[in-house]
Copies of this chain bind each other. A is one copy, B any other.
Amino acid sequence: MKAVQFYFDFTSPYSYIASRRIDEIAQRHGRAVEWHPILLGAVFKITGMKPLLDMPMMGDYTRNDIARSAREHHIPLRMPSEFPVSTVTAARAVCWAKENAPDAVNALVHGLFTAYFEQDKNISALEAVREVAHSAGIDPESVSNGVQDPQIKAALKDAVDHAIALNIFGAPWVIVDGESFWGNDRLHLVDKWLETGGW
């Protein structure tokens, strides 16, 4: 059975909420989750979209909807003091881990989201990424070297380009057997799609 493909940006609150729900949904149907960190900034350059929180009139609604969505699913969420932040280093760390410490990827992804959206740690800083890596059982020095490695930098760039080529224009974004679902608010459909094979 093909893994559920989960595309996300670490600075996206809806990606965080969805990241806390997707493991259970996938497991229920005997599927693994493949994590794909992307950079929404690069995607928005093409679509012309802006983060919802930056759109006229939309900020207040979106702040309330994020908090309400987290409470709906009983997921702790504290909006970070620094928001949004650059997620290049965190995303590169995941790219490095996918090649060099695949068993730790899940813990690294969840750890980075926890650091940012629960513990208010600014994960744009290498030091914060190193701490989370350590907790995930990864040698911090290897990660520090990894995120500077030209091959890893190229791997992330390729991953973002590939996502754009797949017409992924937002996050979180889930692909199940070729079918795309955009947004935390589509996860119940991901569940239903895995259950039924589509409708």
**Chain A residues at the B interface, C-beta cutoff of 8 Å:** 46-49, 55-58, 60-61, 64-65, 68, 71-72, 164, 167, 169, 180, 182-183, 185-186, 189, 192, 199
A68 and B192 alpha carbons, distance in the complex (Å): 12
A-B contact pairs, 16 of them (CB 8 A): A47-B55, A47-B57, A48-B55, A48-B56, A49-B55, A57-B167, A57-B169, A58-B169, A60-B167, A64-B180, A68-B189, A68-B199, A72-B189, A72-B192, A72-B199, A183-B185
Identical subunits present: 2
Nearest residue, chain B, Cβ from A43: B57
Q: Please tell me if the beta carbons of B182 and A185 are within 8 angstroms of each other in the complex.
A: no
A162 to chain B, nearest CB (A): 14
Cα–Cα, bound, A71→B68 (Å): 27
Contact, CB under 8 Å: A186 / B185? yes
**Chain B neighbourhood of A60, CB < 8 A:** 167
**Besides A55-B169, A56-B169, A72-B189, 16 other A-B contacts (C-beta < 8 A):** A47-B55, A47-B57, A47-B58, A48-B55, A49-B55, A57-B164, A57-B167, A58-B169, A61-B182, A64-B180, A65-B186, A68-B189, A68-B199, A72-B199, A183-B185, A185-B185
The residue of chain B having its C-beta at the shortest distance from the C-beta of A181 within the complex is B65
Query: Assuming the A-B contacts A185-B183, A185-B185, are A56 and B46 also in contact, with contact meaning beta carbons closer than 8 angstroms in the complex?
Result: yes
Q: Which 7 A-B pairs have the closest CB atoms?
A: A57-B169, A185-B185, A57-B167, A47-B56, A71-B199, A47-B57, A58-B169
**Which residues of chain B come closer than 8 Å to A48, judged between CB atoms?**
55-56
Nearest CB of B to A170, in Å: 9
- CB-defined contacts of A189 to chain B, threshold 8 Å: 68, 72
The answer on a CB contact under 8 Å between A57 and B61 is no
